[in-house]
Amino acid sequence: MMLSGADVIIECLKEQGVDIVFGYPGGQALIIYDALYKARNEITHILTSHEQGASHAADGYARATGKVGVCIATSGPGATNLVTGIATAYMDSVPMVAITGQVPTNLLGKDSFQEVDITGITMPITKHNFIVKDVTQLADTMRKAFAIAREGRPGPVLVDVCKDVTAAMVEYTPKKPEKTDYVSNKYHDISNSAIEEAINAINNAERPVILSGAGVGIASAEEYVRSIAEMADIPVSTSLMGMGTFPGTHQLFMGMVGMHGTKTSNYAFHNSDLVIAIGNRFSDRIVSKVSSFAQKAKIMHIDIDGAEIGKNLNVDYPLVGDVKKILKAIQAGIIKKKNPEWINRINKWKEEYPLRYTYSKDIIRPQYIVERIYELTKGEALITTEVGQHQMWAAQYYKYSRFRQFISSGGLGTMGYGLGACIGAQLARPDKKVINIAGDGSFRMNLNELATAVEYKLPIIIALFNNRALGMVRQWQELFFDSRFSQTSIDRGTDFAALANAFGAKGINVTSPEQVDSAIISALAETNTPVLLNFAIDKDDKVSPIVPPGAALCDVVDC
């Protein structure tokens, strides 16, 4: 059948099972949007307040479902406004396809109105990107974009389409998508000898620990991590992005490891004789001082991305490939045993160094808010976060039972991420209550997306931890810069509850601990209205414990 390029884009989206896209129209994307209008009964378009909000919403949708998130923008500033969201998805291995309009081919390279080289700009922050100048290549390019976004280590792909290509007519032949899940044929089997070495290392270890990263969840390999841990009696920690890949209530769970990890996790890694790292990248926030990381341990690193093996740490047992397949092979050779001496040591640290804070009848403690959210949602909510102190409290004090329950910007640390992601996650999972735990500094950056949540009647909850400061930066200034609080006070008198009401949402001020439960319960009862809970917290509350910059994990201290 003969179709316009814009109609081909829409048909390719339908081929890929896309039922929702996020975006903002503009001149070079007009023909695409006209095609979207004609397909409005098959693909829902969510009009965000800003293109960055669209990219974060597509990201949140993808993280909540595992599907490819899709966002659309016009050329120039529309495309560049997607950049932060694309980089966020790239750092956290999130499958996304960003479609941008571009000036007509005859105007390329002439500094035309709203022309930017978006493929050049995004080359370092995408798995791949394309500029389409020939309509006959459009369908195959769209199909490749989705395949690349999904396969192996997921990530964002950008497709830049010239306006004349969207208008041109071409013969379109429908095509059933090829299966491109987590693993493609290029990921070869691990040798039997490498698997045997890994099995022997685990069976012979006396003080093993598991580090479960997001790659475990992406590979749907959680059951194998749990099985191996239980069979070999191995304590487990997660990375920030790996939250939920091991149950937060499990007796072998030690909590997060790294800069704001538990003392138990950090001490366990420091004293371990085998670190089994699965689907993580050994970021600086986990490793801290490289020369001091797990000095007594051999390192086993299992990941689908060979580029991560040995990038930050020397590895004794490298295993590159399908995480689920590798773990299944390892599990088959594990000898069931108990490690009473090691587990007793772990449990002693848990008793001696639990996450703790002092409850106050007069001041709302942020840790208490997270605990009450956990209890009142029965641990079933999807939690998105902005970036800062509140993000760490959300990671520390909510017990995640499954992957895709904690949605946060880990690698890039994008302030302003959470509200857009919350919108995307709620649209993806209307069966779940989705709560964005935010700081007032981050929330200010993209609060305009409240209008989007109101328009689409999304019952999201924004739990705003309002300390009138850039809390994490202020904490560092106090601890490491002799309390020189340079530009971290944002006590501007903004009434966030009134602001929410002005957008058409429901705003509630919470000023004392006794109001916390009733406010949360009221918010949970809403079914088609966003609710902002403005919690007044103290600017001197700190995330604790912390590994000071440049220190070893064993040097973790309380604040």
Claim to verify: residue 20 and residue 166 sit in the same structural domain: yes
Counted domains in the chain: 3
Q: Is the full-model pTM beyond 0.75? A: yes
Which one is catalytic: 11, 51, 222, 386? 51
Which residue among 14, 15, 114, 399 is the active-site one? Answer: 114
Q: Whose CA is closest to 346, among 423, 275, 273, 251?
A: 251
* Paired tokens of 62: 């993808």
Considering the candidates 42, 113, 178, 296, report the single residue annotated as catalytic: 113
Instruction: Give the domain range for residue 11.
Output: 2-171
Residues 496 and 457 occupy one common structural domain: yes
Q: Answer yes or no: do 293 and 268 share one domain.
A: yes
Is 62 in the same domain as 208?
Answer: no
Contact (Cβ atoms closer than 8 angstroms) between residue 71 and residue 84: no
- Please say which residue of 352, 374, 396 terminates a domain: 352
Q: How many CA atoms lie within 13 A of 268 on its CB side?
A: 36
End-to-end CA distance of the chain: give it in Å, rounded. 67
The residue out of 319, 352, 385 marking a domain boundary is 352
Q: Does the residue 555 lie in any domain?
A: no
Residue 549 lies in a domain: no
Catalytic hit among 472, 496, 506, 535? 472
Burial degree of 227 (CB within 10 A; 0-12, 13-18, 19+):
middle
Is 487 designated active site? no
In-domain check, residue 181: no
Active site residue 163: yes
- 348 and 371 co-located in one domain: no
Query: Is 187 part of any domain?
Result: no
pLDDT tens per residue across all 559 residues of the chain: 999 999 999 999 999 999 999 999 999 999 999 999 999 999 999 999 999 999 999 999 999 999 999 999 999 999 999 999 999 999 999 999 999 999 999 999 999 999 999 999 999 999 999 999 999 999 999 999 999 999 999 999 999 999 999 999 999 999 988 765 554 444 456 889 999 999 999 999 999 999 999 999 999 999 999 999 999 999 999 999 999 999 999 999 999 999 999 999 999 999 999 999 999 999 999 999 999 999 999 999 999 999 999 999 999 999 999 999 999 999 999 999 999 999 999 999 999 999 999 999 999 999 999 999 999 999 999 999 999 999 999 999 999 999 999 999 999 999 999 999 999 999 999 999 999 999 999 999 999 999 999 999 999 999 999 999 999 999 999 999 999 999 999 999 999 999 999 999 999 999 999 999 999 999 999 999 999 999 999 999 999 999 999 999 999 999 8
Q: Last residue of a domain, which of 171, 203, 230?
A: 171
Q: Which amino acid is present at 159?
A: V
* 542 within a domain of the structure (yes/no): no
Query: Does residue 519 sit in the same domain as residue 383?
Result: yes
Residue type, 410: G
Question: Are 246 and 317 contained in the same domain?
Answer: yes
Give CA–CA dist 504/254, Å, rounded.
42
94 lies in the same domain as 136 = yes
In a domain, 239, yes or no: yes
Catalytic residue list contains 113: yes
Does the active-site annotation cover 51? yes
Q: Do residues 546 and 479 make contact, with C-beta atoms less than 8 angstroms apart?
A: yes
Q: Which residues contact 64 (CB under 8 A, 6 or more apart)?
A: 382, 404, 407, 424, 425, 428, 429
Query: For residue 529, what are its two tokens?
Result: 């209205």
Catalytic residue among 67, 127, 163, 263: 163
Q: Is residue 359 part of a domain?
A: no
Please check whether residue 546 is in contact with residue 535, taking contact to mean a CB–CB distance below 8 angstroms: no
**One domain for residues 408 and 517:** yes
Note the helical H segments in 92-170: 118-122, 138-150, 163-167
Are 279 and 417 found together in one domain?
no
- H-helix or E-strand containing 420? helix 418-428
Angstrom CA distances, 154 to 15, 58, 148, 215, stand at 19, 14, 8, 10
Residues 201 and 129 in one domain: no
179 is annotated as an active-site residue? no
- CATH number, domain of 404, equals 3.40.50.970
Residues 286 and 395 reside in one and the same domain: no
Number of Cβ atoms within 10 Å of the Cβ of 455 = 14
